[in-house]
Amino acid sequence: MIVGCNLGGVILDKKVQVGLWLCWLIVTPILLWVAYQLAPPTFNGLEVDILAFLILMCLVSFWPIIINETPIFYVQGVSLVVFLYFGLFIEMILTQIAVIVLLLKVRVNIKDLYRYPLNSLLFSLGSLGGAVVFYMIGGTHGRVLFSDTFLTTIISYELTVFLLNQFLFNILQLVIYKKRFKILTKSFLWEFFTSLIIFPIGIALYFLYLEVGIEAIIFIGTPLLALSIILTLYYKTQQINHYLQQASEIGHQLTGRLNIKNVLDIFMDKVTAMIPVEAAYIIDVDSEKLRIVRKYENGTIQIDTEEPKSPDRGLSGHVYVMRESILFHSRKEWRHIHQSQLPHTVESVIGVPVMRNQDLIGIVILASNKKHAFDKAQLMIIDLLSAYLGVAVENAKNYEETKRQSEHCSLTGLYNYRYLENKLEENFLSLNQRKVESLSLILLDIDHFKDVNDTYGHHAGNEVLIQLANRLLKTFRHRGIVARYGGEEFVILLADYTKAETITIAEEVRLLISNTPFEIEQSLHNTNTMISIFITASIGVAIAPEDSEDAISLVRHADRAMYIGAKRAGRNKVAEYVS
């Protein structure tokens, strides 16, 4: 039977909770009175038998299966016997007690106490609905001989209770938890197939009880309890296998990504979808500083921008020091860990170190507002996924570093010619698709750069190149692409500028170079002194589609403008391409 107790942490408004309690206080006595009137119970000195059935129902209730955060327990086999022999009134009372035992087992928080009256009403209405159908087709209580009529009545009763329980549960999910109305869910299928198993056991228990009395509870009740435990363990095994399968799939996705941002996003998205949490954090460990790089709160994944902090506080600091995983079932278990930044509503916590080559490179924290929300199987899965995360992050870092080195000039840090070629092709594609109106290319060459090297040394020449690169990058970082074309030549690529605007910008670049001295170090007689030198640059400008229809021509035409229009005209000039 499904219990309408979602464990996901949805908290109802206090007025709604009070309304539920008032509704329970008013409706429950009415339902019990109706049940008593429909079939007044006769104990006939069988109080001990009723107590024995109650104990069996409570024991069965102690081994539920949690599917999609919803408990399912197999008490219907025993409750059927109680209903057939003792009547609706006794069955309702014993089922209510069994439900209380179940809710105690799943540890409902104080803030969720409204689930007791909620489930009480749910099961009372289910029992009453099944009984009404049972009586309408001629069902009776007590000692009944097996017959087609008997079989029809109990099948109708069980089917009505089952379907009504499912219907009311879905209505509950829709109205209170705002979840979609679904019938063929995983919990529905589990309850349906286990009911097929439990139903004949209940019939056997009923007829054996008629023959031997209370001893039947031992003969049939023990296997029923064992079956309940076996089904629970089987489901947990299936759940672990499902977790392992998901972990394998997530691992393949992680290690297949070569971008750190994508790796972190996939990890956070998949983990929070797989394991119900209220909060989750990925913490980067670098130079003995901890920095949150991803966090999941209020149902959304965010990129955190907090400053790195020292690992001397909180649960992440505890994992950092211990270098081992932690699993806390309630807040009192980790209250000794001071200065935690987790939300004050958090109870259960999983903390896992992300290790790579015996070095701690990160920490994963999962948090839930519910006590005992996590188990060792989930801790094992997060441990496994954190190992995948460590491998994926290292692979992504290595790839990004290799890619950076292949695309950047090692001296100036600017993009190199290979990167510029690729970007030119991409930008011409955008130009052809009319995503941009024009492409401007400014190519500059330092005048008399050989004299700088010959006079002050190659070290001074390199320093000039570095300082020039920094000036250009500072000016155009957010406006376009700056690249070292080769030697003492640099390229600036801009989008959506007219030729007149581009020439104006090129003139600003010329003045930026010629009017501000470059500070270089000169070595004379084993002493180093700083001196200022002035240099100039010749600049050529070409624009597409006006001057060129392809990337190669655009570069060639800017180069031609630079040499013919600027260099040959006396240097320290800006020249545009003229066809």
pLDDT tens-digit map of 302-339: 886 677 777 777 888 889 988 999 999 988 888 888 66
Instruction: Indicate whether 379 pLDDT > 50.
Output: yes
Instruction: Indicate whether 40 pLDDT > 90.
Output: no
Distance between CA atoms of residues 353 and 287, nearest Å: 16
With tokens 């801009």, the residue in question is 494
> Terminus-to-terminus CA distance in the chain, angstroms?
84
Distance between CA atoms of residues 161 and 159, nearest Å: 5
More confident residue, 304 or 233: 233
Contacts of residue 427, defined as CB under 8 A and 6 or more positions apart, other chains included, come to 436, 439, 493, 495, 551
Tokens of 325: 């995983």
In the chain, the percentage of residues whose pLDDT exceeds 70 is 92
Q: Where are the beta strands (DSSP E) in 224-376?
A: 279-286, 289-297, 300-302, 326-328, 348-356, 359-368
Rounded average pLDDT over 405-432: 92
Among 488, 417, 483, which residue's Cα sits nearest to residue 450?
Answer: 488
Supply the pLDDT for residue 99.
Answer: 85
Supply the pLDDT for residue 148.
Answer: 85
Instruction: Indicate whether 553 pLDDT > 60.
Output: yes
Instruction: Indicate whether 260 pLDDT > 80.
Output: yes
Confidence class for position 2, pLDDT limits 50, 70, 90: very low
Distance between CA atoms of residues 15 and 470, nearest Å: 63
In the chain, the percentage of residues whose pLDDT exceeds 90 is 45
Instruction: Indicate whether 226 pLDDT > 70.
Output: yes
Confidence class for position 7, pLDDT limits 50, 70, 90: very low
Distance between CA atoms of residues 70 and 65, nearest Å: 8
Supply the pLDDT for residue 73.
Answer: 62
Rounded average pLDDT over 444-451: 95
Query: Could you read off the pLDDT of 26-36 as tens digits, one per residue?
Result: 999 999 999 99
* Residues 531 and 457: beta-carbon distance below 8 Å: no
Among 46, 133, 59, which residue's Cα sits nearest to residue 90?
Answer: 46
Supply the pLDDT for residue 12.
Answer: 65
Cis geometry, peptide bond prior to residue 343 (ω within 30 degrees of 0): no
Distance between CA atoms of residues 63 and 73, nearest Å: 7
Say which DSSP state 308 is in: P
Supply the pLDDT for residue 456.
Answer: 87
Distance between CA atoms of residues 127 and 92, nearest Å: 7
Q: Which residues pair with 524 in a beta bridge?
A: 527
Distance between CA atoms of residues 262 and 273, nearest Å: 16
More confident residue, 186 or 554: 554
Contacts of residue 22, defined as CB under 8 A and 6 or more positions apart, other chains included, come to none
* Residues 277 and 365: beta-carbon distance below 8 Å: no
Among 524, 537, 544, 529, which residue's Cα sits nearest to residue 563?
Answer: 537
More confident residue, 464 or 66: 464
φ, ψ for residue 301 (rounded to 5)? -95, 130
Distance between CA atoms of residues 82 and 545, nearest Å: 88
Distance between CA atoms of residues 234 and 242, nearest Å: 12
Distances in Å between the Cα of 530 and the Cα atoms of 178, 309, 347, 456, 469 are: 72, 39, 63, 11, 20
CA 401, 402, 408, 412 torsion-angle sign:
positive
More confident residue, 64 or 98: 98
Between β-strands 348-356 and 359-368, what pairing exists: parallel, antiparallel or unpaired? antiparallel
Instruction: Indicate whether 357 pLDDT > 90.
Output: no
More confident residue, 364 or 3: 364
Q: Which domains are assigned to the chain? A: 14-243 (no CATH), 260-402 (3.30.450.40), 417-576 (3.30.70.270)
Confidence class for position 269, pLDDT limits 50, 70, 90: very high
This prediction's pTM? 0.63
φ, ψ for residue 281 (rounded to 5)? -140, 140
More confident residue, 172 or 305: 172
Least confident of 265-269, 487-491, 521-525: 521-525
Confidence class for position 530, pLDDT limits 50, 70, 90: confident
Contacts of residue 249, defined as CB under 8 A and 6 or more positions apart, other chains included, come to none
Distance between CA atoms of residues 504 and 259, nearest Å: 38
CA 284, 285, 291, 295 torsion-angle sign:
positive
* DSSP H/E element including 411: none
Confidence class for position 178, pLDDT limits 50, 70, 90: low
Angle between helices 499-514 and 458-476 (to 10 degrees): 140
Distance between CA atoms of residues 290 and 309, nearest Å: 5
Confidence class for position 552, pLDDT limits 50, 70, 90: very high
Q: Which residues pair with 543 in a beta bridge?
A: 440
Distance of CA 127 to the CA centre of its chain: 40
- Alpha helical stretches, state H, 371-497: 376-407, 417-432, 449-456, 458-476
Distance between CA atoms of residues 119 and 405, nearest Å: 63
Among 542, 541, 539, which residue's Cα sits nearest to residue 566?
Answer: 539
Contacts of residue 127, defined as CB under 8 A and 6 or more positions apart, other chains included, come to 35, 83, 88, 91, 92, 95, 161
Supply the pLDDT for residue 66.
Answer: 60
Distance between CA atoms of residues 258 and 238, nearest Å: 32
Instruction: Indicate whether 65 pLDDT > 70.
Output: no
Distance between CA atoms of residues 101 and 1, nearest Å: 14
Is the backbone of residue 367 left (phi > 0), alpha (psi -120 to 50) or beta?
A: beta
Cβ-based neighbour number of residue 91 at 10 Å: 27
Distances in Å between the Cα of 359 and the Cα atoms of 257, 285, 288, 354, 382 are: 22, 10, 11, 8, 18
Instruction: Indicate whether 189 pLDDT > 80.
Output: no
Rounded average pLDDT over 546-555: 92
